């Protein structure tokens, strides 16, 4: 087991603190991200839709995460493959959300929380010295369990909000909002009511609105923490179809308690138990021929 006192995310001591490292002596922030590029689809496989934009993968090595003295994540190493959907499954409390929050540096915002280990976005160490945390969170967007549109804002402003929060200027705002709503498969349903409140939409539409808000800032990776758990089966299927579209442009990580959902959308599935990664393999293998008996017990409903 890793000793939390002897290992840090990087050599940068700020990375183990619960602040976001905004100290004045820090090197100038930099945008740590590779440019996005068009591709011929070389990453795709026969069963995939064509890859339209190559997204970077994420590589996690030796991740340990703590809440105070509570050791929530134990020496987890996992690869999230570019332009693929990785599902994270496991019982409640097994650490799935914590891993997600470590990937986009939100974990450190929780008082008393810290993490050690390494998280690479392609070739960039997201806990590296001088990395701009805001740029990391822009590159690695997150969609939450409960749709969370800004309650006082219109549909249009909800999508534009991410752009404003990230200080993105010099773009055609109307065009970007429309593209994002198209990308989230919501445009046709809302194009005539863009000035109406976002919270006036149905739950499934609100979740697609939140996905539009996330993709408006052109992230490279999208983390989704149980994005369908508050939705009915029809709205859930819409989001699942959308996820399959989105992987043409983004690398996707989805936490789900729904085994069928993982089987439907995920290229690979990772099973977590008590803060440890037990198994990560192609989804069909995890569900039909898992290598660990604990995975088998979980996916066959014997516990969890």
Ligand X SMILES: Nc1ncnc2c1ncn2[C@@H]1O[C@H](COP(=O)(O)OP(=O)(O)OP(=O)(O)O)[C@@H](O)[C@H]1O
Residues 84 and 120: beta-carbon distance below 8 Å: no
Q: Is 62 left (phi over 0), alpha (psi -120 to 50) or beta?
A: left
Q: Which is nearer to ligand X, 9 or 131 (CB)?
A: 9
Q: Is 200 in the site for ligand X (CB under 6 A)?
A: no
CB of 138 to ligand X, least distance (A): 23
By CB under 5 A, the count of residues binding Mg ion is 1
Q: Is 97 in the site for Mg ion (CB under 5 A)?
A: yes
Report the distance separating Cα 132 and Cα 48, nearest Å.
Answer: 33
Q: Is 227 in the site for ligand X (CB under 6 A)?
A: no
Query: Token digits for 101?
Result: 């929050």
Q: Is 98 in the site for ligand X (CB under 6 A)?
A: yes
Q: Which of 90, 149, 183, 204 binds ligand X (CB under 6 A)?
A: 90
Q: Is 256 in the site for Mg ion (CB under 5 A)?
A: no
Pairing of strands 70-80, 37-38: unpaired
Q: Which stretch binds ligand X (CB under 6 A): 22-30, 67-75, 194-202, 229-237?
A: 67-75
Q: Which is nearer to Mg ion, 33 or 72 (CB)?
A: 72
Q: Is 110 in the site for ligand X (CB under 6 A)?
A: yes
Q: Which of 58, 63, 72, 201 binds ligand X (CB under 6 A)?
A: 72
Helices (H), the chain: 96-103, 133-139, 155-165, 173-183, 187-190, 203-216, 233-246, 259-265, 283-288, 293-299
Q: Which of 44, 67, 74, 194 binds ligand X (CB under 6 A)?
A: 67
Report the distance separating Cα 162 and Cα 59, nearest Å.
Answer: 26
Give the residue from 222, 56, 26, 57 showing the smallest Cα distance to 138.
222
CB of 167 to ligand X, least distance (A): 29
What are the CB-based long-range contacts (under 8 Å, 24+) for 281-290?
Answer: 283/87, 287/259, 287/262, 287/263
Q: Which is nearer to ligand X, 72 or 212 (CB)?
A: 72
Contact set with ligand X (CB under 6 A): 67, 70, 72, 90, 92-98, 110
Contact set with Mg ion (CB under 5 A): 97
């Amino acid at each position: 087991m890793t000793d939390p006192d002897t290992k840090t995310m990087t050599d940068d001591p700020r990375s183990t603190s619960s602040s976001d490292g905004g100290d004045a002596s820090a090197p100038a922030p930099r945008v740590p991200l590779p440019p996005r590029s068009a591709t011929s689809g070389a990453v795709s496989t026969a069963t995939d839709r064509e890859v339209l934009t190559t997204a970077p993968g994420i590589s996690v090595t030796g991740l340990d995460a703590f809440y105070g003295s509570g050791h929530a994540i134990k020496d987890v190493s996992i690869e999230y493959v570019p332009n693929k959907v990785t599902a994270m499954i496991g019982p409640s409390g097994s650490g799935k959300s914590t891993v997600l929050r470590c990937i986009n540096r939100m974990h450190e915002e929780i008082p008393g929380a810290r993490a050690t280990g390494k998280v690479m976005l392609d070739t960039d160490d997201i806990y590296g010295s001088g990395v701009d945390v805001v740029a990391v969170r822009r590159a690695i967007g997150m969609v939450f369990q409960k749709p969370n549109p800004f309650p006082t804002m219109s549909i249009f402003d909800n999508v534009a909000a991410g752009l404003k929060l990230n200080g993105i200027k010099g773009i055609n705002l109307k065009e970007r909002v429309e593209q994002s709503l198209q990308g989230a498969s919501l445009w046709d349903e809302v194009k005539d009511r863009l000035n109406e409140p976002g919270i006036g939409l149905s739950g499934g539409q609100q979740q697609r609105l939140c996905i539009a808000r996330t993709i408006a800032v052109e992230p490279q990776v999208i983390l989704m923490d149980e994005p369908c758990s508050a939705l009915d089966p029809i709205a859930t299927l819409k989001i699942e179809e959308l996820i399959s579209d989105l992987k043409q442009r983004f690398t996707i990580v989805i936490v789900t308690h729904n085994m069928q959902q993982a089987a439907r959308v995920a290229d690979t599935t990772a099973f977590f138990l008590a803060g440890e990664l037990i198994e990560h393999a192609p989804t069909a293998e995890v569900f039909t021929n898992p290598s660990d008996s604990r995975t088998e017990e979980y996916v066959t409903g014997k516990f969890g």
